[in-house]
Amino acid sequence: MKILLMGNPNVGKSVVFNRVTGANVIASNYAGTTVEFTKGSMKLGAERAELIDVPGTYTLEPTCKAEEIAVEMLGEHTDGDVVINVVEATNLERSLNLTLQLLKRKIPTVVALNFWDETKHKGISIDNKKLEEILGVPCVPICAVTGEGVNHLVEKIKEAKPSGYEYEDNQRWQKIGSIVDKVQSVTHRHHTWLERLGDASVRPLTGIPIAAAVMFLAFKVIRFIGEGLIGYVGEPVFEKLWAPVMMKLSAVMGSGGFLHDLVIGQLIDGEIDFGQSFGLLTTGLFVPIGAVLPYVFAFYLVLSLLEDLGFIPRLAVMVDTLMHRLGLHGFAIVPMLLGLGCNVPGALSTRILETRRERFISATILSIAVPCAALQAMVVGLVGEHGVGYIAIIYGTLFAVWVLLGVIFNKTIKGESPEIFLEIPPYRIPYMRSLGKKIWIRIKWFLKEAIPFVLLGVLIVNLLYTFGIIQFVGKITAPVVTRVLGLPQDAVGALIVGFLRKDVAVGMLIPLGLTIKQLVIASVVLAMYFPCVATFTTLVKELGVVDMLKSATIMIISSLIVGGLLNLILP
């Protein structure tokens, strides 16, 4: 038996899904968090049923790719399947539009009235028994984030039945109006401070300063937490606890030889240097856990907080005019923000955009000019020693490339960019438990993706050096790497490994003893020249092979141009 969770975007389907299955999927306070369906299993009495978290849709006449997926999934249902229609109780009229369309399909349905607690603050009272009578299907009030009513909802699944409610399509809104009149009464009440803040952050006069302040604060907090965790937790744990263990192991393995160098790496002045040794158990563990994880945690803490609050759609409105210059609209800021954590979820979320043109532009400028957290953490660690100014040059260059490429694409690729059309959810106080859960999902995902690839990267670095491949490729590519980019021949090793993991690639620059100018150029080129393999496969899937080839050509050419220019300009 299959149970489909369906409803408008941002009504809390994913929260219900997590509650019922005990699974972990990302839920946020904006439309379009779920762009793929997620399956989970749940207990229903003695049986097990399959629960499917379907992307949100306003109607069964789809308007974007995520909505198409939803409608397709509904089409694939078989006898005995059930739909749980999650609706926003605070927004009954609009939600019922989809509900009535669903009921017409004659699939057994249960309606879950989510945000039941919020109706009370908003002075809305809904008679759910009466609604049940009219629609002819169970209607259960729930509050998904706290879990209230969710058990009751699960019990009601077996009472789900096809509705006997009949109407003509062109009468739908009139019918909805009359249903709402019968079951809902609204009492007047004053604006809450959250609503005032919500309105203030979309007025230009107050909204622009608010958005600027939030972004500035976000960067400050991420750096503070990230650096604090590295300085007080990551480094001490590795230096004080792990290094002695590794030194003992090194002695056992004879302090040298091929196997020793693979596992422990090169000893620097008889000691382990987690940045430079490049052994699987030293640098291979330190890079993902000691150096990158603290920043990944800090980034996702701040991002998740802003998501659950409901800030992201408001930011989308504020940047809409800028994004139109790049051939996109404001909502395209979502893939970019997600991409600052990891380009893979960023590339996936380009599905919230309506046209192929927008998806190509956003995916391309994302993978060229939006550095992931792993790369950023290593770059900040490496370049930061030489002063914040150099970090500013790197970020400034990438931002300029991002804007410039977007403008060029907008002028050269045929087609128009659609206008923004976006629901703005109310600000909501994040519920700490679901926030914690979300951060944990993302951290777990990072560790699972990063550690194997970092280890593989370190292994390959060792093999490349042992067999003299880096020296060989270095000679061949010298005209480009040395003449155009002004980097030493050995830096080509970082470009090879960068295809696997960008953080390991930056780490490979440490033993090369580069000048600060070379570090800046190498960091920018590593960010731009090609996506890592995980992003690459995602992009092939999202864009198709032909568009991905175009995109990759643009990446390589633009990174050479920008790297070359930096080499000429920087003192």
Partner 1 sequence: MTETKAIRVSLVQMRPGQKGRIVEINGGYGMACKLDALGIRTGKEIKKISEQLMRGPVLLQQNQTQAALGFGMASRILVEVNGEDKI
Which residues bind to partner 1, rule: CB under 8 A? 58-59, 61, 63, 90-91, 93-94, 97, 122, 124, 173, 198-199, 202-204, 207, 313, 316-318, 320-321, 329-330, 418-426
Nearer to partner 1, 329 or 502 (CB): 329
**Contact assessment for residue 292 and residue 374, using Cβ atoms and an 8 Å cutoff:** yes
Minimum separation from the CB atom of position 26 to partner 1 (A): 23
- Determine the 3-state secondary structure of 425 from DSSP: coil
d(CA 272, CA 127): 69
Nearer to partner 1, 59 or 255 (CB): 59
Torsion of CA 560, 562, 564, 569, to 10 degrees: 180
Residue 519's closest CA among 477, 563, 558? Answer: 563
Minimum separation from the CB atom of position 16 to partner 1 (A): 20
Minimum separation from the CB atom of position 10 to partner 1 (A): 11
Distances (CA, A) of 294 to 274, 386, 390, 391: 16, 21, 22, 19
d(CA 87, CA 144): 11
**Contact assessment for residue 107 and residue 80, using Cβ atoms and an 8 Å cutoff:** no
Nearer to partner 1, 321 or 553 (CB): 321
Query: Which amino acid is present at 197?
Result: L
d(CA 158, CA 355): 40
- Determine the 3-state secondary structure of 113 from DSSP: strand
Residue 339's closest CA among 364, 373, 297? Answer: 373
Minimum separation from the CB atom of position 58 to partner 1 (A): 3
Residue 42's closest CA among 70, 11, 26, 19? Answer: 19
d(CA 226, CA 437): 19
Count CB atoms within 10 A of the CB of residue 168. 8
Minimum separation from the CB atom of position 347 to partner 1 (A): 24
Minimum separation from the CB atom of position 271 to partner 1 (A): 57
d(CA 53, CA 12): 10
Q: How far is CA 2 from the centre of its chain?
A: 28
Minimum separation from the CB atom of position 101 to partner 1 (A): 10
Minimum separation from the CB atom of position 61 to partner 1 (A): 6
Nearer to partner 1, 173 or 232 (CB): 173
Nearer to partner 1, 329 or 351 (CB): 329
Nearer to partner 1, 103 or 124 (CB): 124
Minimum separation from the CB atom of position 18 to partner 1 (A): 25
Structure tokens at 275: 């940045």
Q: How far is CA 176 from the centre of its chain?
A: 36
Nearer to partner 1, 424 or 516 (CB): 424
Alpha-carbon radius of gyration of the chain: 27
- Determine the 3-state secondary structure of 224 from DSSP: helix
- What number of CA atoms fall less than 13 Å from residue 157's CA on the CB side? 27
Minimum separation from the CB atom of position 118 to partner 1 (A): 10
Minimum separation from the CB atom of position 113 to partner 1 (A): 14
Nearer to partner 1, 122 or 130 (CB): 122
d(CA 552, CA 531): 8
Nearer to partner 1, 425 or 486 (CB): 425
Nearer to partner 1, 63 or 151 (CB): 63
Nearer to partner 1, 110 or 420 (CB): 420
